[in-house]
Amino acid sequence: MAGASLRAMMRHRRPKFGTYVIEFDSPGMGHLCRAAGCDFVIVDMEHSGFTYDQLKRMLRYYQAAELPVIVNTPMHDHDVIARACDMGADGIQPSKVGSAEEARAIIEHMRYPPKGRRGVALGIAHDRYRPGAVAAKLDAANRELVFFPKIETPEGIENIESIAALPDVAGIWIGHFDLSVGMGIPAQFEHPAYRAAMKRVREACRRHDVSLGRIADNPATGRALNRAGFDFLCYSGDSWLLREGLKRAFDALRDECRPTGATRPTGTTRNSRGAGAHPATQ
């Protein structure tokens, strides 16, 4: 799927795999994620502390790697949504979308007239600074830019049918932790009420033929989610993967480097095998 656009991914329900970017804005991140097999990434603007200036640079890094980026925005305001669009996001994922009315307002911020009221600036980051016919550029942006709202409140679940039915909704993203907290059952993902909510979401997405996504902490969770109908799977995130990978490596290294309890033969010194050399290196 190398180089596939985000819109092209939304046209089928085969699994797509990505990761969350919440900590690192290194120039190499796009190529690292692509080399690891990512199909997309989500750049978190809600919890990360990333600035607009950082976001603009980061989007260039991922464009260079031909890796689509969904930008998770903390608010639904026009200046937040339209600015992320102008910087070159492939998809917009606003947090806590609770109703079809909220979703329509966000769509207006994303779309150029006559479909919306996004301000026009061409030959900048979102169209890769290229010249071209104005009408064709506006039409392409309206067609290709993906709206992938995050549902993470009881209100959003209650209105999931009308949200998923909107023509511009390409997929539904579940914010599972916030949703469980809002339901009064923090992290109880096997709770009957949570399972019932997920059933409503799955049925709405299936009925309207839109994608369904969620973060997965581990491969087993991802497998279960995919079998339940989730086709966009975001495997953990940069900071968590680094922490967990280092912990596994250090645990294994400490285990391998434990003293064996063996005693050194009488008359043998550390340097008897070579000046300053450790026995394990001989």
Among 14-18, 248-252, 272-276, the range scoring the smallest mean pLDDT is: 272-276
- Whether residue 268 lies inside any domain: the answer is no
- Whether residue 242 lies inside any domain: the answer is yes
Q: Diameter of the chain by CA atoms? A: 90
The DSSP symbol for 216 reads E
Which range marks the domain in which residue 174 is found? 6-256
| Angle between helix 52-64 and 78-87 (nearest 10) | 30
Cα 22 from Cα 33, distance rounded (Å): 14
Task: Identify the burial level of 204 via C-beta atoms within 10 angstroms of its C-beta, where 0-12 means exposed, 13-18 middle and 19 or more buried.
Answer: buried
Per-residue confidence (pLDDT) for residue 269, from 0 to 100: 45
Give which of 172, 224, 191, 234 is closest to 10, Cα–Cα: 172
pLDDT digits 0-9 by tens, 64-123 = 999 999 999 999 999 999 999 999 999 999 999 999 999 999 999 999 999 999 999 999
- Whether residue 267 lies inside any domain: the answer is no
- Whether residue 245 lies inside any domain: the answer is yes
- Whether residue 264 lies inside any domain: the answer is no
The count of other CB atoms within 10 Å of the CB of residue 221 is: 16
- Average pLDDT value for residue range 51-58: 96
- Whether residue 157 lies inside any domain: the answer is yes
- Whether residue 274 lies inside any domain: the answer is no
- Domain tally, the chain: 1
For residue 132, the domain's CATH number is 3.20.20.60
- Whether residue 61 lies inside any domain: the answer is yes
